[in-house]
A and B are shown apart, each in its own frame.
Chain A
């Protein structure tokens, strides 16, 4: 996938790659290191200029490609992302936290003081923002890779595309297409499971239907999802309450439109009851 042997260009001419972490679990950065078969080739093709999880040495900015994992959830991160944007020619966000705010964005619907007080005995020592937000809410982002975590083959595709100067081939259609291609039986139609596949972006390889469970939407909304149609299927045919609908949508990509809007809609329905 990446240039198979050491590139002919001298080291100095190699594009510089930077990898950053904000509020997150580290899983998306780890997907880079999980490219075991391509890792040494990758190191041959790019200069890893800044990647704290992998190396101690730091080269000074500017960098050609910046990969950002995690959401913005502290005052320090709010400031740091501005510097990161300035330091990188192409800024690509990787994973649900960076593209949607991630699981920690559940705080966005809650009272942050109550959250801090619940977890810490001395809340005054904890510095945090009221919200956890995607990177694109703060700076211009050149490209986004979805997933909780990102698919490592998509990471490799992204880097290959950037290295040769073409658009990354990342599908934005629904998971159903991927699921059908694998010839998996539909867990929604044939097993009445609440599968979010029809509104979720492809990319994982239909992992959940492959183990017989419903997709829980960890790649976030597909392009133009029909939220209302799937919602009415769940409420009328599966008997789901508005509260349960809200919970399903508010998970790893709950703060990303149109999941957010739909979950807010179900919250209002729930409150009306």
Chain B
């Protein structure tokens, strides 16, 4: 049942994708079109503001990783890592973090990538591709697939618990390192399960590449990600793009600008003097594919062949596969590290508070998450600035929708809504209820 008919082609009409009234992160899409031309498009996000940057002022710097974790229950490690590195810079100990602590931080991040990617890929995103309203319904037809994905997801959570005590809002992370390093015997046990999950994930990746159809929507994105010299990005590295952005961590805050828009409680971010950009798995993979570990690296050509596209991918529907490859990488990195693991001599570097400022971004599952803190002499936070990934992708999601809009003019209402939702879910947006949050209503004006 199309809301629009052929004879009304030249008229001005509005497609209103309205949020469910009782949804957090209320998303709404207002689209006004004349014929096939988009006149106006607004993706609205009304996540209730929680004012972290305001109440962080006056807190002790040691409390910050525990507080910023609470920004997101799905990617707390990203917030903890960003806070730790930025504050270590402010306190002048960034260069003293032991390699063993860096390694443990990467393993911790692997846990978050695994649980968050699996949650998004199989429970939230895949139902769109396979035509189900949820993974619950999908499980009726694809029970084995859902069970296998849950096993891998659980391994990610177990990894978070091993390294930092808890999967949601880990308790083991502190500025300077970890309160306590993980136990060696437990690490060895988990390494075995991770190895099994690695084999599972390689098979699942091929399944996703070969059996799923990916809608075509290519755009000339500016991909932005950390680009360390010798490893796939997680915690460290310069921030680069495929269009010439190449800045040090500390400079990033000045390289982009954030604008508030009236229809949202989330800011819009742009590369200064240029435009919207894309962060997340697709950007990371396109800029760093040569740094994947062997198991993921050997899958890349097979996956590319299956979807008929070589890297770089300019279609964010393929982010599902980028997540899958990243999960393989993370499982291998974690399994390798834990099977050779010996507890470090010290789990944290001592810190003497001083006045200072530090900025740092790490790769959250959804993309670059950047923090900057200014502290006074006793380590009290004077100012905080946090740029989460969804803020950075926001303008790009709108641009994608603008591109998609003409394609859905003749599509029935329910289908058109699904296609908008599917596109938005490509970004795994951190408005938690990004899952299934749009309701389409169309009205004709003029």
Contact = CB atoms under 8 A, between A and B. Distances in A.
B137 A73 contact: no
Interface stretch (A22-30, A163-171, A263-271): A22-30
A54 B172 contact: no
B171 A213 contact: yes
Interface in A103-144: 103-104, 106-107, 110, 114-116, 118-122, 125-126, 128, 132
A223 interface: no
B409 interface: no
B51 A53 contact: no
A77 B48 contact: yes
B287 to A, nearest CB: 29
- Pairs of residues from A and B, 3 with the lowest C-beta to C-beta distance, nearest first: A27-B73, A55-B134, A56-B436
A183 to B, nearest CB: 15
Interface of A: 20-31, 33-34, 36-37, 39-40, 43, 48, 52-58, 70, 73-74, 77, 80, 83-84, 102-104, 106-107, 110, 114-116, 118-122, 125-126, 128, 132, 148-149, 204, 207-208, 210-213, 216, 218, 247, 251-252
Contacts of A207: 165-166, 171
Contacts of B171: 207-208, 211, 213
B126 to A, nearest CB: 13
Range class of the B interface residue count = 35 or more
Contacts, number: 180
B54 A114 contact: yes
A62 to B, nearest CB: 15
A20 B432 CA distance: 12
A103 B48 CA distance: 13
Interface stretch (B2-10, B95-103, B151-159): B151-159
Contacts of A114: 54
B260 A52 contact: no
B383 to A, nearest CB: 9
Given A48-B136, A120-B260, 6 more contacts: A22-B24, A23-B48, A25-B70, A30-B73, A33-B119, A122-B260
Contact of A56 (B70, B265, B435): B435
A21 to B, nearest CB: 4
B50 A28 contact: no
Interface string B141-165: 0010011001101100100000011
A252 B70 contact: yes
B179 interface: yes
Nearest to A121: B260
Contacts of A251: 63, 66-67
17 contacts: A21-B24, A30-B74, A34-B115, A36-B150, A36-B151, A40-B143, A52-B435, A55-B435, A56-B436, A103-B55, A119-B54, A132-B50, A149-B168, A149-B169, A211-B171, A212-B179, A252-B70
A53 B435 contact: yes
A231 to B, nearest CB: 18
B59 interface: yes
A132 to B, nearest CB: 8
A175 to B, nearest CB: 12
Given A126-B265, A218-B169, A37 B48 contact: no
B147 A40 contact: yes
Given A52-B20, A115-B51, A122 B262 contact: yes
A259 B31 CA distance: 48
B168 A31 contact: yes
Contacts of A119: 49, 51, 53-54
A271 B93 CA distance: 34
B76 A27 contact: yes
Contacts of B134: 54-57
A119 B49 CA distance: 9
A84 to B, nearest CB: 8
Nearest to B150: A36
**Most A-side CB within 10 Å, residue of B127, B136, B260, B265:** B136
Interface in B35-75: 48-55, 59-60, 63, 66-67, 70-74
